[in-house]
Amino acid sequence: MEFYAHSLPDQPKDHWQKLKQHLKNVADKASSFAGTFKAENWAYLAGILHDLGKYQEDFQKYLIEGGRRGSAPHAVWGAAYARRLSMPEIAFVIDGHHKGLPNKADLSDTTEKFKRNDVKNFQSVIDSFLKDVNYTEKDLKCSLHPFDNSLQREFFIRYIFSALIDADWLDTEAHFDPDKSQDRISLNLPIEEMIEKLAKELSNKPKDGAINLLRNQARKSALQKADSACGFYSLNLPTGLGKTLISIVWALHHAKANRLKRIFVVLPYVNIIDQTVEELKKIFGDEWVLEHHSSYNESAEEKSDNGNYEDVSKKRKLLSCENWDYPIIVTTTVQFFESLFSNKTSKCRKIHNIAESVVIFDEVQTFPKEILLPTITMLKNIQAVMRTSFLFCTATQPAFEKRENFDGIDSIQPLIDNPTEFFKKTRRVDFGFLDNLIPIRIDKLFTTVKETDSSALIIFNTKKAVMEFFNQAIQEQESWEKCYHLSTAMCPEHRRNTIKDIRDDLKDKRKILVVSTQLIEAGVDFDFPCVFRAFAPLESIIQSAGRCNREGKMPVKGKVYLFQLEGGAMPDRTYRACAEHTKNLLQTDINKLYRHEFYSEYYSHVINLFVDVDKNNIINAQNNLNFETVNDSYSPNYSYS
């Protein structure tokens, strides 16, 4: 009897895909996708076993006669056989290859009747499979998984799952839509060419001036660490010193030294992705950079009248959004981590392409504190299993290292050995308190801001406070040439256009007022002479100051005023607790804000005192291999009220 994996509507059987060919195609592809930590054999076995259930008579009848989708389920058959062969990791992968990775108890429940031999024809299906693929049961053994650490084992299952899903979908696509399949041209990272292009870009940058000298010094320091082995690195520099370009320079040379395949740039907010993507495309060319996040991906490109994408590069990008098979990927932190913690097939499909890559996290201080431990633990497991390097970039480096009561990262190598000197040489602002932090009403605050004789930026903790102040400002707009409002409530296009208008006005030296939520604190390169900031956690205060006298071109230092808003709300309890702790620390000595080491000390304190770093008990769910529970519990929320 001939067995088939897929049928084609209105096509004779000789056009259908034979099951043994599909299994071997998927096994070969999955094996090629799992090239680290000797995972190839595991992925191959997952591929060869994943559709074992299609050897059922009922499934073959379904292909011929049709019927309700799912009326002849097949995944559990291969999962049960893998479990019988003492390969539980592969059982998880196969059981979830349509519905998503299950919880451990659910896998046991669905396969238990097979284990008890209560399923009619189970052995005959196995015999048909072995005969068709010309294997013996002895051929289907793999070594014990190489991890004593249960969390690394959990991630190893995700890695194999990703390799299987992508391989299965690609082979199925090749059968049903060969034209689409041929558009998937995998692009290698052209490291030498990119290094040359970046060097050309940097050669055109101005060299004179104190800031440019510091930028060059920082870049040279980072390059000296590029040949180091894969691991964890940090780039801790003040705002305005060009962390983006320095990180890319380091990443390219590090990828070259370690023979890595791609570069990820991961940013916390959609509103700061635009300028990064624009800069990278300008340097390397549009065809090498993939932008992928919830507000934009290449599917937004216009199709021709016949419904096809005429531009081959646009087709390729659209398809690469599915599995991140691209040289440079720019995405959001939410997209990145949701893929890693998901149990869903469409999201997990990307995971294997993070292997042997460089991942740059910009504005890393924004990692949500309540899920910090599972987030950091996931990165440690990726590094151990998939030979991936991570670079943490920020002006306010959190304390991610392992210490008492925090199972963090064993070692993070700084690319800058003397960050304190850079911060001292780039001190561009003076901090002060408004009314000694006595709570101030909106109307009085407005009067104080109005008395400034320059453009001003004022940042609140909630959208409600922003709108209340902005509504008062537009009623007395004669104090400024223009007033702007910024918040996450704006649609992305409106926000992008507003940010561009603000930059243009600042460049033209117009006197403007900008009223904003915290979204402005990460990666938005505004340069105001004066900033007012509602009291907030220390990272927000320091990042707000990075929007003041950013380029250091003012004849005097910029002014950053901290105030306590009367009745001022906060986004959540943790935010309020960290803000109150910051207030207590600074009221005794505001000069702590000028000390670079202060932030790391503060971060360690608030993590120990105020934050449950695994609030949703995700680590426990991972230890118990409860993939669906992990998916439901991990929520990297970066939005502000």
More confident residue, 13 or 76: 76
Extended strands (E) in 293-356 = 328-332
The yes-or-no verdict on residue 411 having pLDDT over 50 is yes
Cβ-based burial of 405 (10 A; exposed 0-12, middle 13-18, buried ≥19): exposed
Confidence of residue 15 (pLDDT cuts 50, 70, 90): confident
537-547 per-position pLDDT tens digit: 999 999 899 89
Q: What's the rounded mean pLDDT across residues 206-223?
A: 89
Q: Which of 45-59, 125-139, 522-536, 559-573 has the lowest mean pLDDT?
A: 522-536
Which pLDDT score, from 0 to 100, does residue 306 have?
Answer: 45
Q: What's the rounded mean pLDDT across residues 141-170?
A: 90
Q: What's the rounded mean pLDDT across residues 425-430?
A: 91
Let me know: does 390 contact 258? Beta carbons within 8 Å: no
Which pLDDT score, from 0 to 100, does residue 638 have?
Answer: 55
The yes-or-no verdict on residue 435 having pLDDT over 50 is yes
Distance CA 205, CA 210 (A): 14
The yes-or-no verdict on residue 146 having pLDDT over 70 is no
Distances (CA, A) of 144 to 38, 77, 537: 11, 22, 47
Q: Of 555, 614, 145, 254, whose CA–CA distance to 405 is shortest?
A: 614
| Dihedral in degrees, nearest 10, Cα atoms 410, 412, 413, 414 | -150
More confident residue, 331 or 639: 331
**46 Cβ neighbours under 8 A, 6+ residues apart:** 27, 30, 82, 90, 93, 94, 160, 161, 163, 164
**484 Cβ neighbours under 8 A, 6+ residues apart:** 498, 501, 502, 512, 513, 514, 515
* Residue position matching structure tokens 């053994």: 141
Distances (CA, A) of 535 to 440, 441, 595: 11, 14, 19
Alpha helices in 50-176 (DSSP H): 57-65, 75-84, 88-95, 104-115, 122-133, 150-176
The yes-or-no verdict on residue 298 having pLDDT over 50 is no
The yes-or-no verdict on residue 302 having pLDDT over 90 is no
Q: What's the rounded mean pLDDT across residues 302-329?
A: 74
Q: Across the chain, what does the average pLDDT equal?
A: 90
Q: Which two tokens stand for residue 193?
A: 């060419």
Which pLDDT score, from 0 to 100, does residue 53 have?
Answer: 96
Which domains are delineated in the chain? 4-182 (no CATH), 191-421 (3.40.50.300), 427-610 (3.40.50.300)
The yes-or-no verdict on residue 635 having pLDDT over 90 is no
Confidence of residue 300 (pLDDT cuts 50, 70, 90): very low
SS (H, E, C) 461-524: CCHHHHHHHHHHHHHCHHHCCEEEEECCCCCHHHHHHHHHHHHHHHHCCCCEEEEECHHHHCCC
CB neighbours of residue 493 within 10 Å? 10
Which pLDDT score, from 0 to 100, does residue 185 have?
Answer: 80
Q: What's the rounded mean pLDDT across residues 79-83?
A: 96
